[in-house]
Amino acid sequence: MPKQENFDVLIIGSGGAGLSLALKLADQRRVVVLSKFALTEGSTFYAQGGISAVLGSQVSSIDSHIQDTLNSGAGLCDPEIVRLTVEYGKKSIDFLRQQGMQFTQRNSKQGEPELHLNQEGGHSERRIVHNADATGKALSLSLISKAKQHANITLLEHHNAVDLIIDDHCVRGAYVLDTQNNVVKTIAAPIVALATGGANKVYLYTTNPQISTGDGIALAWRAGCKIANMEFMQFHPTCLYHPDGSSFLISEAVRGEGAKLILPDGSEFMHRYDDRAELAPRDIVARAIDHEIKKHGIDCVFLDISHKSDEFIKQHFPSIYKKCLEFNIDITQEPIPVVPAAHYTCGGVSTDSYARTDISGLYALGEVACTGLHGANRMASNSLLECLVFAERASENILNLEFSEKFMELPAWDESQVKESTEAVMIAHNWDELRRFMWDYVGIVRTTERLQRASYRLALLQQEIADYYQSYRINSDLLELRNLVIVADLIIKSALSRKESRGLHYTLDYPKPDDLCVQNTVLDPNKSEQ
C-alpha cells in the first residue's frame, strides 16, 4: 500500500479554475493538482469563444454586463455575486496576460493595437476577449506551462479521485486512484478544492470531453454538501452534426459575427422565436432548433456564415474552418449542419462568495460549483470568467487561514473484500443506457411523465452499480459511472421539484414561469426525504 502523501492544498481538476488557484497559492503553499487524464483533456482546453470582461472603468459597461447576465439568468442569479464577478473581470484578464496568455488584437482608430472583442448571444455589447476561436486552448497551455515551472506545484496526471475523506465535518484529504498503476493512494490535505468541471457526459450527445462525468458534484454529495439548481443543464444550440464529429462545438461567436440559422430549404426561423434572433440566449435558440427539427422531421438545421468573405471567416474562425474541412464542409461556401447538445452544468455544489462549501476546508470553483452567477441559464463566455474570479476569491480566503505543519494520519484504502471483475460489460451497458434515457426523458423539453420514467429506470441502475462497486476492484470507468448515476438522480429530482418553466428547464406540463417559483432548488444529502 502506498505511503500517505501530504500537501497543504489538494486541487482536484486541472482546468482553468484548478490551475489558476494552484498558481495563486503556490508561492506560499505546497499544492498538488490531480488530472483525471492528460492535463489538456478538460473542458477549458476545448472552449472556443472567449472570456466576457469589462476592461475599462466605464460604469455603464459594468452595469450593462451585470444586466445582461441577470437577464439571461431568468430571475435566479444572485445580484451580489454577479456584480462581484463582473467587477473582477479586468483583474482576471490581467492575471492571464501575466501568465503569458496571448489575446487576439486589432488596430484602434488611432492605429494602436488593442484587444479585439467579440459579441455573443445574450450580450448587448462587444465584451468577449479571445484568442481567435481557440481561447481555452491558449488559456490552458499558458497555465500548464507556468504550473510546470513552479517548484511548489505537483501535477499528477491520470489520477482520479475516489472519495473525499471527511472527519468531524472537516475535509482531511482524499482517496485517489492512480489509473496507470491501478493503485489507490491516500492524499492528506487540510484544504481540498473541487475544480472538476461539469456533468454533461450524463447525456448521449454533448460538446464536452470524455472527462465531464460530474465527479466533483458526486464527491461533494457523498461528503454531505448541498447541491443546487441541477435542473438547469445548458444545451449548446450549435454542435456539428456529423457522425465523426458529433462533439465538435460551433462557437457562439459565429452567430455573433452574423451567421444565420436556416432550414434545409434556406429559410430563416429564429425571428419567429425572439426579437434578438440568432443573438438570443442559448436556451431560447436551443429550444427553437429542437422544435424545428421535430416539427419538420429533419435531422438537423444549418448555420450559414458563407455570406462573409473567405478572408473574414478564415481569420476569425480558423479552428472551426479547419475542422469542418476535415468533414468536407467548406464553411466559406456552404452552411454547417448543426444540432443542440448538452454543454454546461449551471447548477452544482453550493458555495459562498469565497468558493467555500458546507464542509470546512472544502472549496468548489468553476463549472462544478453553483455560485449564483448563472441562475437558470448561463450567458455565453461567463464561464471562464467565473473560473478565474473564484480562483482569486478562494486564494484570498485560503491564504488568510492559519496552517499547521502537522498532518493527520488517515486510514489506508481497504480493498481486502473485493475481487477483480469479470463482468466489465455491465459497466459499458449501464453507461450507455443511462445516457440514452437521460437524453430521451430529461433533455431540452421535459414532461412529468418522462421525468418519472427516467427516475424509475435510474433506481434500477443505482442498485446494480452500488452492488458492483461493493464487490469488485475499482477502475476509472466504474468511478465515473458511480458518479454519473448520482448526477442523473440530482438532475431528475431537481427537475421534478420545479413546477414551472424557467431558463434552461422547460416542461410541457408547466410551460410558463411562475413568480412563486423564483427560488433556487437546493438538495441536501443530510435529509432523508428530498
Contact yes or no for 200/207 (Cβ under 8 A): yes
What DSSP state is assigned to residue 73?
T
For residue 276, what are the contacts with CB-CB under 8 A and spacing of at least 6?
121
Best CA proximity match to 163, nearest among 101, 219, 119, 203? 219
Of 29, 127, 282, 393, the catalytic one is: 282
Q: What are phi and psi of 71, to 5 degrees?
A: -65, -45
Return the C-alpha torsion angle 216, 220, 222, 224, nearest 10: -170
For residue 35, give the H/E element and its range.
strand 31-35
H or E stretch covering 5: strand 5-6
- Burial pattern 187-207, b for ≥16 Cβ within 10 A else e, equals bbbbbbbbbbbbbbbbbbbbb
- DSSP secondary structure letter of residue 110: T
Q: Could you tell me if 465 and 482 are in contact, meaning their C-beta atoms sit under 8 angstroms apart?
A: yes
Decide if 473 is catalytic. no
Neighbours of 447 (CB within 10 A): 13
Count of beta carbons in the 10 Å neighbourhood of residue 414: 10
242: helix, coil or strand?
coil
Catalytic residues: 282
